[in-house]
Amino acid sequence: MFGSLRYQTKIFLMLSVFLFAVLTIINVIYYFRNESLIENDLAQNKQQTTIKLQEQVDDMLEEMDELSISVNASNSIMGVLKGIASNSEVNYFTAHPEINAEVRNTLLSFTSLQPLKGRISIVSRFGDYMGLSNKMDNVKSNKFQVRAKPTFREYLAMDDYKRFLPPHPDPWSESGDRVVSIVRPLRDNYNVYGYVEISYSVMELENLFFFRNDLSFGNVLILGPDRGVLFSSLSPVIAGNVEENDRLNMPLDEEFGHFRMQFSGTDEMVFYSKLTAADWTVLLIEDVSVYRRPIKYLRYSSVTIFLSVMVVLLLTLYLYTSRVTRPLRRLKDSLANVDLAKLELLPSKLRTSNEITLLGVAFQGLLDELKRTMRQEEMAKQREMVAQMNALQAQVNPHFLHNTLTVIAAYGKSSGNPKVVEMCIALSDMLRYTMKFERKDSTVGAEMEHVEQYLTLMRSKYEGFLEIEMNIDPDIGPVPIPRLSLQPLVENAFQHGFAGIDPPWKLAVSGMVSDVTWTVSIVDNGIGLSFELLEKVRQQIGRLRDDPGSETDCLAEEKGAAGGLPIREGNGIGLANVVARLYLFYGEAVEVRVDQAPAGGAVFTITGRR
């Protein structure tokens, strides 16, 4: 069966199998290598993020601990606590405002290098209380209420030097906001004189887990030594799946690490790191599907690239084999279908396998192709001559119109009608400027003169209805610009902007220049553009900026559609034509904008770099 196939088909199939095998091997190696690299990078990045979160929590706890140590090391504060008598039922700090102020100043000195982020609460062994907070919400408690708190005797009697408290309601705040605290007994070598509690708002902890790069909170869980939840910023979906048994079964033996675990049917990646300041563990939990999304993208992209490359290479291979075997097919067809009466070779020699004879037939085909090419070249020269004649004729017509306008102007002058003379001169100058064939570019100064001539005609047509303001910096005159770039924008105001509104019609044309840029602005008080049309025009201008050679009608709707911007009207040069030529002429050194004027109407702005 394989032997009955065409020669081209045989070559194509063999090369296709070889190409498929090579590309498959390369793609498989590329995929598994990059999958391993991406997975390692993802794990390392998430692990580093978890360690960074743990370090930030440690820093916050150590900052609180240093503040409590400063209080315990203060001789003035310890002296005050030692001097408090046990027989008074009035809060010592309330009864002695001068001592209260002294202690507060001492506490403020501890926070002089950075603002107080929460509350400092000092409780004496007899229940005397004072607090310093960054909020005006201190609870007003007497000594009986303080001594009645269940934690009062616990904190005075605890053996450890400090104790970190997970997020809990602030007992010294009227609002009861949740805080993270550290409690330290205030003692010397022999006695305990009270304790200090440093509390930071839970928001300080939450801010550590806010990922500013994607403006979201991380799925963070803080577990205590008994695997109880101390803090959670998990999403509701993940939080509902993490049960107590799941937390107890987590392998958290190392200082840090990561593992994959199933939580109530959901597959999650867990990254953890243990705190050094407290026996807490910070966990960062992420859905495996989200975690492995880059790997899924790699898989899809690998398959897409493989198929795309395979299709392109197979198509190229097919075209290549077709091209390589085409001479053989043509030679075969020539030998099978040649008209022997037109050859100067004997029929007997055509039946031979001699390569010289075959080359002779092929050479005859080359002669035929050369003859056809010569005929095509002759026809092309004829078409070129016709085009040159049409161009010469096109140059004759403007001269005829110019001479005719000169005659009309002379008649108007002799008839005492200066307005006719002015209009003829303006129209004649416009025709002369428009029909210059030697150059396609011009200057802003020449364009502005062309605009003024056009406005001369418009003043005559709309006399008393039109208010025109021209503000042109003389230094902008030499700036190069494509010919007929500004007059179509001015004409657009008359064709579309002033249609449907009552006069007076106002038009402002300005041209400014600086050391690095030049700007031309055309503002009218017409009907303007709707929000939808303005957005559409801006998108189409963006497409022309990226591809100025595309069709110029991409800035307009179909001619005659409501709210559209017809491409060709008046002089036949549309707005899209102008925009496309500006981007072709300047490239990225020019910007074209269309905006809504504050008082109504449209604003066309052209800004270029000098």
- Is 384 a domain residue? no
358 in any annotated domain? no
Angle, CA of 185, 186 and 192, to the nearest 5°: 85
> For residue range 476-501, what is the model confidence (pLDDT) as tens digits?
999 999 988 898 899 888 888 888 78
**Is the distance from CB of 499 to CB of 462 less than 8 angstroms?**
no
The confidence score (pLDDT) of residue 61 equals: 93
Predicted confidence at residue 429, as pLDDT, reads 66
Range of weakest confidence among 68-72, 94-98, 227-231, 568-572: 568-572
State residue 388's pLDDT score.
52
- The boundaries of the domain holding residue 517 are 461-553+572-609
In a domain, 312, yes or no: no
Mean pLDDT of the 239-255 span: 84
The predicted-structure confidence for 351-386, as pLDDT tens digits, reads as follows 544 333 444 555 566 677 778 888 877 776 765 655
> Is this prediction's pTM over 0.85?
no
Each residue's pLDDT tens digit, 7-39: 778 888 888 899 899 989 998 898 888 888 888
Q: Who contacts 510 (Cβ-Cβ below 8 Å, separation ≥6)?
A: 470, 471, 472, 519, 520, 521, 523
Is 231 part of any domain?
A: yes
> What's the residue count for the chain?
610
pLDDT value for 571: 39
Q: What is the pLDDT of residues 172-195, one digit of tens each?
A: 888 888 999 999 999 988 899 999
Is residue 297, in this structure, part of any structural domain at all? no
Q: How many domains does the chain have?
A: 2
Any domain includes 123: yes
Residue 11, C-beta contacts closer than 8 angstroms, at least 6 positions apart: 321, 324, 325
Cα-Cα-Cα-Cα torsion 369, 375, 376, 377, nearest 10 degrees, comes to: 110
Distance between CA atoms of residues 604 and 521, nearest Å: 6
SS3 388: helix
Secondary structure percentages of the chain, helix, strand, coil, to 5: 55, 20, 25
Question: What tokens were used for 121?
Answer: 């609460």
Last-in-domain residue among 244, 262, 289: 289
**End-of-domain residue from the set 289, 323, 339:** 289
Q: Looking at residue 103, what is its pLDDT? A: 93
Is the pLDDT at 600 greater than 60? The verdict is yes
Q: What is the mean pLDDT of residues 49-66?
A: 92
pLDDT tens figures, 80-97: 999 888 888 889 998 899
Average pLDDT score, the chain: 80
Taking residue 187's Cβ as centre, other Cβ atoms within 10 Å add up to 17
Going from the C-alpha of 282 to that of each of 30, 200, 258, 385, the distances in angstroms are 36, 18, 11, 85
What is the CATH number for 205?
3.30.450.20
Instruction: Please identify which residue in the block is written with the tokens 């004072």.
Output: 130
